[in-house]
Structure 1
């Protein structure tokens, strides 16, 4: 009977395993189809945003041309032109300026600058050929002149890109490539169109509407489907328009040394998966015509993890289901083989213990994932602190030491904390302390280090229940606020000091902390604050005691604070990355084969 049950159990297990493997295979196919569908749908929505940006500009040009082309040029003056085009400029705020020029070299430009409106008139047929400028105020839906002046700058409006391009398109709209406006040297684009005057047949007239590429940056950011997506526009397959990490517009020629993934996606009308820095992206491109001769190609790259989270979770659930099925099958089998030898029973118990150990290890690993997610990534640190580095070495998988960074222009807030203990207990205290720290800054809007530490201490004690006199854990911390505009540093410390090494003299200056922690402490008092004027190149050092308390070396002694200060002075002249490398090598060499006794964290910031 037992043999029959064994066989039946194994058959069920094999069938179930094959079924789940097949489901995995079908789910992989589903992921591919879902990826293509989502990318196509996202691209369609984003393309609608592009069309919604350029179409009103094109329509405004058509409307203005229809109104002006039926009236002889000689009947138009500055006031009538302003009355005609100004309502359209206000209706379409993405348009920055209106321009008009004719084949005689006469020009009129109306544009907005610094929230004011200006015009420039140029008439080479007059005795005074210098351009005339005017400033206007807005009253209702009209412009009223308040000031005028002349400049000696001479120019030929017929050399403008929008004018020259319109002459080649035979009374059709012409969209320029990105170019710099002569008024303020900003990057922008223009759409223009020409016609012949009704009364003076040899007189050619061209009008244009222009917009800054800053508006395109806003557009590209607006149509991004997710925060980490990448969007690009390509003009006539020759010029690439993109947004830099600092949110500035960037244009490049397609034949320049562009990354391979950009060239790949520009040639991919169908959704395609590519790798960028070991991360999977899905993207595609499509072209739409601005006019018969000009076109834009929009390209979008979406991180795969941004839209496949649900399917990946389903795969995990299938894996859990498969594991559960195996466990159930083994348990059923175990119930029917009572005559197994005692040694085999011990082996089975050992397997259970190992599974529990792995579960606990996975839980701790997930706790590390949670803890890491609360601290800024290296990319965020470089973005907010610029030239800086962080070393974070937990004694165990999770740590009681942590680093913390926030940015509120022009200030950067950063800190290094050392919570009681290490491992899981230290990590739990760390989470409580970081939560209190975040609330002090984000919820209570505090912006002075000593007040932030006072509030953090108050919130931490609330979390542990102030009446619980048996809880004596807490946190030592060094907390800074740096004004990036004037290099002024505000600092407070709880047991942890601050080191600053001057760039000019390589001198280390120590600022002592208040001798009390964030936590329960007899005769506690409000934290003090120091204000320090720094110079460019000075370095700020925040750290915990893990480095200087580490046992090692030939005599297996502590590294001690004095040696730590000497090491910082010795390495201060190195670049930030090289200094980080030397600090790590020194720590590991000193520790040798000995066990790490505590968590270790060092944050270095160069002004």
Structure 2
């Protein structure tokens, strides 16, 4: 009756909590959601405007200015070098002597070659107003040659005669070569008095290479902008986008913006800034100015979506933050409303405290179980260290495979290998039991094997079995006054040296496969154990004819005795003999998976009853 009454009170209280707290929670949530959404929208607008303003007043200016400084710096350097060449006394004297002085001609040749080779210009030229000879040194031919004799009757030579009349020291021309699809800067400098010049000298520089170098650098830095080089008529000659080349700027930019760009006389380092929207609804921010001493324009544009791209991450983070804040506030409101609307809360928590104690006890049991499991896993690591490594196995056995699957995390089966100057021993063992007891026994036997092989005998399997049996009795000190214990170890030992194979076993056989012939050599029908009253056992050696290509297999009883099939019978020696006969025709690295899959298919839904170990190797 009391428990029934208590449950009724709890049910009534839950109704009270729901009716009273629901209104508070809903009202509070609506208020907070509206406030957070309003705050988020406002902060996004403010942030977007601030970023856009910084882009136009600072970031885009700096980006464009760095590009302009790079391009105009190259041109200014070419101009300085051209003026130095024009003012060189040797050049002036050589021209005055009508290019007849061989020594001065060689000096001029060296100077022009240095300008091209050292400063990576495409061409350096010198055209005499005395002889009308056009001398040139190019980066392609690497030769100082008389390229032409200019005449006023040739329209292609009129640039020279017009330059002589320009009445200023230098002139800069940017010209697009359609045949080469490249844009060049030509620096034409008057030699001597600008009113009566002796010659025109200067350098030619491939401006396309300069701009393309900038484009490659920015692509490596993943800067998503475009650099445009536009002539005085709005024709595009350089761009990251191949479809823009040799097209009019009016095809891609609004007409009024193109007119502003072409009319600009801005020669300062600061760029003019503008923006425009494409028919597809994309916004671009653009910076433009005249290249100094030319009528060409340098334009840098960047998609606004890239400039404001990081705002997407801010929006996502803001949404996540809003959701988390709403959840926290909902929980807080619900907790407060519970405390106010439900005076019986403390009584109702009693049952929850009892459940919490049950959870704590369960957690303790899980932790203890995990500690035990961790200890066994560590034991597995220790057991793995006493097994020979694949490197050690591979040094002695050129072709081999191992199936080693303990029933539990650790097991009583093991394999063992040791070599010395004359030969090597290969051993497969099966200690009584599995799991932790079997693993402890396997570790002890492993240590005893090392003692026997290192200190007593390392080339006679029968003697090794006898000494191991004696040492096992001596170590565990069993006698007739103590409780009978039948624990022990089954062992198979193969000793191999040059052209000799010897086998001896205690309850373990060796299967010898030679072509289509298969023989089982059984070991002695006794085990190595602790029982001291049993008479000394006799172990026999069996010599196996050494023949290349013969395959030897040693297996523990877990694999042969594994139940399965329709009636749950053991796998058996006959099936195992047929299995290894079929497997021996395969490559060694395939045999292990073939044999193991066959065993597991036979076992089907039967659990693995014992540790599984099989060692096969080819002579």
TM-score (norm 2): 0.42
Task: Specify which structure has the higher proportion of strand.
Answer: 1
TM-score (norm 1): 0.43
Question: Who wins on radius of gyration, i.e. which is larger?
Answer: 2
